[in-house]
Every structure is written in structure tokens, then in C-alpha cells.
Amino acid sequence: MLRIARPPRFAAAPRSLRGLDWLNFFIADFQTGFGPFISVYLTGVGWTQSAIGASLSIGTIAGMASQVPGGALADAIRDKRSAIAAAIVATLVSALLIALWPTLLSIGFAEVLHAFAGSVIGPAIAALSLALVHPSLFGERLGRNARYAAIGNAFAAGLMGICGSYFSDRAVFFLTAAFCLPALAALAMIRGEDLESSGRQRRPPRPAASRPVGSSWRFLKDRRLLAYFACACLFHLANAAMLPIAAGMVTKRAGSEAAALIAACIVGPQIVTALISPWAGRAAEKWGRRPILLLGYSALPIRGALLAGVTDPYLIILIQLFDGLGAAVFGVLTPLIVADIARDSGHYPTCLGIIGLAVGTGATLSTTAAGLISDHFGGAAVFLSLAAVGLCATLLVVTVMPETRPVSGEIAKGSEEPEL
């Protein structure tokens, strides 16, 4: 009887995939410690608000400046696991510096070190994910990454809040450093054999001369990259300031219940992100990137308009659930679209770093502009302004951003030679 050969499965061993799951979980855990907890801690040790602002500005500037170099470094290091391990160790050192030596010099150095480590971790994990699964399953894998990261964020926020309440604000950063250890253990679960075998299965030898010199950098002139850079920048210009401004409104109106309500505003969207991220990845592979991208972007103007007209702090919690939809779509679709654009270029992490620069630029301008508008015109004007920017971002997706999903033949071709 004639037997029909099945196409090879490009899935890594379950141990490596579980390791990737837990790696995303624990990385989200320790990244949570570098959020608002820094301001609380520095205030407790006697820092002035101007000094705190200066130190946070150092971190913001370093985060923006390190996106492209961090992606390029992840590009240059062939073993992505080594790049991630080094970045995790750098994060551990940053957390200990903050906990043990709260001086301007050490805090500034810790912020810069953490920013550069974060700019390496994101692209390296995306590249590692691409190496472990077939390209047609990459969207679903990214959704799974986002799910574990969202669960990790919610878990860490709750645990660090309890730690800060029952022990001290300093203890939060010791806990942040401690989370780096299981992250390294999860990274060790990802086997080098799986990465090598998937590479052999997908990439038959091909002469180096078959590729024109300089062709690997053509993605820099790709209209799709320029369009998505603008979309990502506008998305975060509209998104980044919404939660801080909403948290300020809750604090003024909720009194003693403010802390619990703000925690709900953070945890609620993370739950939504965890629930819908895998669906977003599967849907993007089935229906294309643009419809799912449009769904996530359209949540921004709706959320901003609702926040402008609501005064009840409990309703703000419900409105913030739209943030989970936007975060899920952006978190899953960004590395997926970048993979489409940088296909076969060999510079996927660098391309992710370029989009990271757009994210950082938009987020920085968002908080600055929102603060100025709030001071002069009030909270409702801020949310309406952010909603207008979100509407512009949505219209940009409709009018400028093309579909990037490759046709089935291109997927098959790409599966023969994925380059990270």
C-alpha cells in the first residue's frame, strides 16, 4: 500500500515549550518590580519628588535609547538563551542596587542597566519563540507568551503589594531579584537540541552567494515597517497616559478604597489579556493581521471617550478592561507583524528594536502631554485628547497599514529558512 508522507512537525519538545511558558511568567514577575514601586520606595527613603522624577527620567531616556542597540545585540548573539541569561542577571543586579544603595548614582545606573537588559530580553524571547515552532504556529505561540506574561504581571503585582505592606518597600526589590532565579531555571529547560533540530529541519544548506549583498537590510525601506512604526507610536501616545490619569481620578474620588481600586484597574486588564491573547494569535493566522489589529486599536478611542464621561470609580474599573483587549492585540500582533516584515532578513530582533523605539517615543510623549493638558484643562479634556489620538491611530491602520500575513506558499518557503 502506498503511504502518503506527512509534512514534518516543527514543534520542539514539550519540556522546551513549558520552559518558554514559565520564562515569560517569571520575566513579567521581575519586570513588575520596576514600575510604580520605585516611586513608593524612593519616597519612603526620603527622596524629593524632583529627585524621583529625575531618576525615572533617566530610566525612560535609557529605555528609548537602548531599543535599537538592544535588538541589534540580540541579533548579534547567535545563542539567544545566552543573551536572555545575561539580561536576567543584569536585571537581578539592578534590583539589588536599588534595594541596597538608594543613592542617585546607583539608582541611575540601575535604571540604565535594567532598561538595556529589557531591550534585549523582548526581541530575544520573540526570536527564541520563532525558533521553537513552525511559522504557521507562531501567532498562537505569541498568544501563549502574552498569556503567561499577563498572569505573571497580575501575580507579581499582588505579591509585591502584600510584601510592601507587611514588610517594607525595600523588600519589593529583594523579591524582584529573587524572581530572576526561577527565570534562569525556566530558561535552562529550553534545550539547545530542540533549537538545533528545528533549524536543521527547516533550513537546508544554501550557498551564501545566493543572496545579494545588502539584501538582508531591505526591511529598513519596507513601507510596512514605516507604517507600523507610525501606528505603534500613535497607539502608545494614546494609551500610555490613560491608566495614570485614571488612577489619579480614582485616588481623589475613592478615599480609603483608592489602593484597592487602583489594584483592580491593573489586575483586571491583565486577566482579559491572559484570556484572549491565544485567540488573538490564532485569529491573526486565520483571518489576517489587519482585522485583529483594527479590533485592538479601536478599543483605544472607545476607552478614552468613556473615561471622559465617567465619575464613578467602580465604573472606571470596568472601562479599564478595554485596556486588556488593546494590550493583548498589540502584544501578540507586534512580534507577529515584525516577523512578517523581517522574514528571511536575519535581523528580526533589530526590527523589533525599531518598533520598540516607536513604543518608547509614543509612551514618553503621552505622559508628558497628558500632564500638561490635565494641568490646564482638566481630566475630561485629557481623555478626549487621548481618544482623538487613538482614533487617528485606528484610522492609520485602516488607511495606511497593509496586510502582512504571507500566503500559504510563502509560509512554506519561510519555514524552510527562518533567520533570526
Q: What's the rounded Cα separation, in Å, for the pair 274 and 297?
A: 18
Q: In whole angstroms, how far apart are CA 305 and each of 171, 363, 369, 420?
A: 39, 19, 17, 41
At 35 the pLDDT is 72
Is residue 4 scored above 60 in pLDDT? Answer: no
DSSP-H helix ranges across 203-241: 223-239
pTM: 0.82
Q: What's the rounded Cα separation, in Å, for the pair 186 and 120?
A: 17
* Residue reference for cell 498572569: 151
Q: In whole angstroms, how far apart are CA 371 and each of 72, 145, 311?
A: 33, 33, 19
Residue 324 contacts residue 358 (beta carbons within 8 Å): no
Taking Cα atoms as reference points, which of 351, 316, 286 lies closest to residue 126? 351
At 234 the pLDDT is 95
Q: Which CATH superfamily is domain 14-202 in?
A: MFS general substrate transporter like domains (1.20.1250.20)
Which burial class, exposed, middle or buried, applies to 184 when counting CB atoms under 10 A from its CB (0-12, 13-18, 19+)? middle
| pLDDT one-digit tens code per residue, 359-402 | 989 988 888 888 888 878 888 898 999 999 999 999 999 999 99
| pLDDT one-digit tens code per residue, 167-196 | 888 888 999 999 999 999 999 999 877 776
Q: Which residues neighbour 355 within 8 Å (Cβ) at sequence distance 6 or greater?
A: 228, 229, 232, 334, 338
Output the CA torsion sign for 48, 52, 57, 58: positive
From its phi and psi, is residue 346 left (phi > 0), alpha (psi between -120 and 50) or beta?
left
Taking Cα atoms as reference points, which of 195, 144, 127 lies closest to residue 338? 127
Mean of the per-residue pLDDT values for the chain?
Answer: 83
Q: pLDDT band at residue 204, thresholds of 50, 70 and 90?
A: very low
| pLDDT one-digit tens code per residue, 112-170 | 999 999 999 999 999 899 888 888 888 889 999 999 999 998 888 888 878 877 888 88
Q: What's the rounded Cα separation, in Å, for the pair 341 and 219?
A: 7
DSSP annotation of 139 reads H
Provide the residue count of the chain: 420
DSSP annotation of 418 reads -
DSSP annotation of 4 reads P
Span(s) in the chain for CATH 1.20.1250.20:
14-202, 220-420
Q: What's the rounded Cα separation, in Å, for the pair 299 and 323?
A: 7
Grid coordinates representing 6?
506527512
Is the domain covering 220-420 a CATH 1.10.3720.10 domain? no
